[in-house]
Amino acid sequence: MMFKQVLRDPIVVDYSSHAKTLLSHLHEAASIAQQHSAKEQQKQAQGYNKRTHFNVGDRVLIANKGERGRRKLADKWEATVYVVINQNPQTHTYVVQDEKGARRVVHRNLLLDISFLPVQMESGGTSNSHLDESDDERGSVANSQPQDLADCLESGSSER
């Protein structure tokens, strides 16, 4: 049926020219689709890559991917605190180092920034690098709050 319509169509004279026209339209549609796909892929990559950036010296945790089996109750992050010592912006990888000096190269997706948490000193005190001297005037309020996760858990269980 279709070929009878093609034969009666004055614009299309023969089958080969009709096939060439269809093929050229198909190639044009495919190239437009590829251009749109590449453009959208770049937009999504830019949105994804601007999410998180770490600076040298930031303290981070690494995702706990070593657990096997069901991980419903497993810790999502390793307990070791690492410091970012180098970064590669092209591949979004970071070189991190723990307190003992062990270095690891880790992708950004596996890092959690904890620079906002206070630093635990060896003498038992804490240091808040993001607080300045004017905040010490409110020291009684700041010192009454637990500074460590273990302190938070202990104080929470004693209040119950």
pLDDT tens profile 37-85: 999 999 988 887 776 678 888 899 998 887 777 777 788 888 899 999 9
Instruction: Provide the whole-model pTM.
Output: 0.49
- Count the residues in the chain: 160
Burial 50-77 (b: 16+ CB within 10 A, else e): eeeebeeebbbbbeeeeeeeeeeeeeee
- Euclidean distance between CA atoms 126 and 113, whole angstroms: 18
pLDDT averaged over every residue in the chain:
75
CA–centroid distance for 108 within its chain: 5
Q: Can you list the alpha helix ranges (DSSP code H) found in 57-133?
A: none
